[in-house]
Every structure is written in C-alpha cells, then in structure tokens.
A and B are shown apart, each in its own frame.
Chain A
Amino acid sequence: QQQVKQSPQSLIVQKGGISIINCAYENTAFDYFPWYQQFPGKGPALLIAIRPDVSEKKEGRFTISFNKSAKQFSLHIMDSQPGDSATYFCAAHPRDNYGQNFVFGPGTRLSVLP
C-alpha cells in the first residue's frame, strides 16, 4: 500500500522563526508532491507543489526541498507568522493514476506564537 509519512505531528514556533515539516514516501511511483494548508472548518488549500525532477522550489516564505534518493521532501516556512497557524498536509500523486487523486500524510498542526 502506498504511504506517505509525515512528522512532526505538531509543531510550536515563535513568530519570525522557521517551521520545518518533513515527509517521506515508500513508493517510487509518485510524480507530484503538493503541500496543503487547512484551517479549522475549511477544506485543504494548495500551498506549494514540486515535481521529482526539481530539488527545491520557493514561493515567497514557503520552500519545498526534495530529496529523490532518500524519498523525502520537506516544507520550510520562513519568518513564520501567527496567521500560518494551521494544519499542513503533504501529499503525493501516484504516477499513471488517471484520476489524479492523492495519497495524503497524516498532517502537522502548526502553532505560531505571537
């Protein structure tokens, strides 16, 4: 069964600090790795995504680092803000999956203290 593991389960960071969330996958047949942000009472929203042929992607304060050989990818949030407090999910898209549904990690609850 394809799985995506995610850590830590929860994370507390001071305002202005760096938040780092890690994910690892067990199946090489993934071809797209998005990160989703979910606020309470809302559905997940795409934050940033990367393909396995790229080692890093940066969008504003958010950076994905991808290590293909280790089958790991991580989300870095620079200058973390209280408004970033949410649950973050990594996900992976199985290659050759026509429906393009994702396998999600269990989530990391981030709290940024003011």
Chain B
Amino acid sequence: DTGVSQNPRHKITKRGQNVTFRCDPISEHNRLYWYRQTLGQGPEFLTYFQNEAQLEKSRLLSDRFSAERPKGSFSTLEIQRTEQGDSAMYLCASNAGGYEQYFGPGTRLTVT
C-alpha cells in the first residue's frame, strides 16, 4: 500500500498524559499537512510542512501541540497534557504540490 499511513489508528489516554502520533506520507511527497476532525465537522487545518520546514501553523495549534518532520519524510504530532477537548480524529495528508491532498486514515484520540 503506497498511500498515506498513520499510527496508531486509535489511542485512548487519560487526561494529562502526553501522546504522539506518526504520519508516513506518500513517498516523494514534499508537503505534509495535519488536520483535526471532530464528530460531525469537517477537517480543520493545524499545520503544514514543506520538506522539514514547518511553514504554517493554525491558531488551533496551542502550545501543548508540537509537530516535527525531522528528515522531510515522516512527521510526528505530539500533544502534551491532554485535555478532554483534544478528543478528535487527527488526519494527515500529503502532496507534491498542486491542490489535491491525499489523506491518511487518521488517528482517533479519546481522552478520558
């Protein structure tokens, strides 16, 4: 399968714990995006990388959130001191320029 992959697919954590998600984009895609999707809503943009550079961050990305793409390949999204409001589906997408973005299956986070 050469699509965007995300791990884990599901994560249940207790409030206050830290969590980290991983996204592996389609090979040779230099652009990588993180979105958050809550139940009954469309995806909301969080942040965007071109190669290893983080070029844009949404106001939704509080200081508890950090994203990295150290070698311009896979990316990680870490949430520190999780809150119940962080419960959502976290989607990763990638492309090689142009408008079409290829989404992964997402990581569903539940904070109890």
Q: Which A residues have a C-beta under 8 Å from some C-beta of B? A: 4, 6, 32, 34, 36, 41-46, 49, 89, 91, 93, 98-107
Within 8 A of A (CB), among B84-107: 91, 93, 95, 98-106
- Contact check: which of A42, A89, A102 meets B101 at CB < 8 Å? A102
Q: How far is the CA of A6 from the CA of B43 in the complex (A)?
A: 13
Q: Which B residues have a C-beta under 8 Å from some C-beta of A? A: 4, 31, 33, 35, 40-45, 48, 50, 55-56, 91, 93, 95, 98-106
Known A-B contacts A43-B91, A46-B100; the reply to A107 vs B42 at CB < 8 A is yes
Are B43 and A89 in contact (CB-based, < 8 A)? yes
- CB-defined contacts of B55 to chain A, threshold 8 Å: 98-99
- CB-defined contacts of B93 to chain A, threshold 8 Å: 43
- CB-defined contacts of A103 to chain B, threshold 8 Å: 45
- Contact check: which of A44, A99, A105 meets B103 at CB < 8 Å? A44
Please name the residue on chain B nearest to A34 by beta carbon. B99
